[in-house]
Amino acid sequence: MSDREARTPTPAELRILRILWRLGPSTVHEVHAALATEKSVGYTTALKMLQVMTEKELVERETVGRAHRYRPVAAEETTQRQLLRDLVDRAFGGSVDALVLRALSDVDVPQADLEEIERLLSRERERRS
Amino acid sequence: MSDREARTPTPAELRILRILWRLGPSTVHEVHAALATEKSVGYTTALKMLQVMTEKELVERETVGRAHRYRPVAAEETTQRQLLRDLVDRAFGGSVDALVLRALSDVDVPQADLEEIERLLSRERERRS
DNA sequence: AAGCATATACGAAACCTGTCGTACTTGCAA
DNA sequence: TTGCAAGTACGACAGGTTTCGTATATGCTT
């Protein structure tokens, strides 16, 4: 249990990571302030989360005076990929395109986005040729 | 707590749902047999899961002699959409296309799949015009 | 009718997540 | 130098998930 596993972050952990990706390295105070705008939560809760996340190596911290400044260990992109991989495996039998197709068939996706994705997709496809 | 919430299934629940979607309505015995091929787990564990899932209304059951036959309440497609919606909200700031783009940039997606998706995408786009 | 095989029901333990209260530390201002 | 403000550390608990052991019910075979 003490080692390298790179488990996917829990929902509460992800909420904090998103704040750190947005704000950059931040103190508990700053994280708590940002968190409190979307969800009522105590200061020590934010602190404890960050401590646990440090333990799990989801974040690193640097000492600044008497306080700590936290930063995410993984880039947002990396974590998003990991979460997608996880979902693809758990719910789509490992097929990325089954997931993509399902996502695109969502009625909420605006027409304009479909066109945009189509453009990016063909660019991506060509990049690989 | 007694009512309509439609929470997303937990990982273990999803494993069972996938079996039911694949096999159709099944007994505990059948679910356990299928489950055991991918993961070593006791019979009563499968039974208990199904009981809890019935409680949560993730599955329904019908009595067949002394046994029960279980079926998923929601279609696979519906659950996949729900899980995607959840991930989009938690990790992609609500943007479906951010998720799709990230999924497609995965190096594991074969070239042929990109082409396939492109085809389906343009069909979907036209369907909506 | 007895007894075995096959079911379900139920309770509880181990673990994880998320929340917070309380105790402790430390730097700085008066 | 004393004490307050601003921090961290730690323990604990409530709730949920996952696992399984044990108890109980029931139908079939002889």
Cα distances (angstroms) measured from residue A69 to each of A16, A31, A65, A76: 13, 10, 10, 18
Task: Name every chain A residue with its beta carbon within 8 A of the beta carbon of B18.
Answer: 91, 93
The answer to whether A61 and A68 are in contact (CB under 8 A) is yes
Residues B50 and B45: their CA atoms lie apart, in Å, by 9
Q: Is A125 on the interface with B (CB under 8 A)?
A: yes
Is the CATH number of domain A11-72 1.10.10.10? yes
Task: Summarize pLDDT for B75-122 with one digit per residue, the tens.
Answer: 999 999 999 999 999 999 999 989 998 998 877 778 888 888 888 888
Two tokens, residue A38: 């979307």
Q: Is B39 on the interface with A (CB under 8 A)?
A: no
Q: Which of B56, B90, B100, B31 is nearest to A96 (CA)?
A: B100
For residue B24, the one-letter residue type is G
Average pLDDT, chain B: 91
Using C1' positions and the CA of A12, the closest nucleotide is: C18
| Rg of chain A taking only CA atoms, in angstroms | 18
Cα distances (angstroms) measured from residue B4 to each of B7, B10, B55, B57, B83: 9, 17, 11, 9, 17
Is B1's pLDDT higher than 60?
no
- Rounded to 5 degrees, φ, ψ at A47 are -60, -50
**A57's torsion region: left (phi>0), alpha (psi -120 to 50) or beta?**
left
Max mean pLDDT among B1-5, B58-62, B125-129 falls in B58-62
Task: Name every chain A residue with its beta carbon within 8 A of the beta carbon of B84.
Answer: 87, 99, 102-103, 106
Where do the structural domains in chain B lie, given as residue ranges? 1-91, 94-129
Which CATH number describes the domain made up of B1-91?
Answer: 1.10.10.10
Residue at the smallest CA–C1' distance to nucleotide D16: B10
- Please report, in tens digits, the pLDDT of each residue of chain A (129 residues total): 444 456 899 999 999 999 999 999 999 999 999 999 999 999 999 999 999 999 999 999 999 999 999 999 999 999 999 999 999 999 999 999 899 989 988 777 788 888 888 888 888 888 887
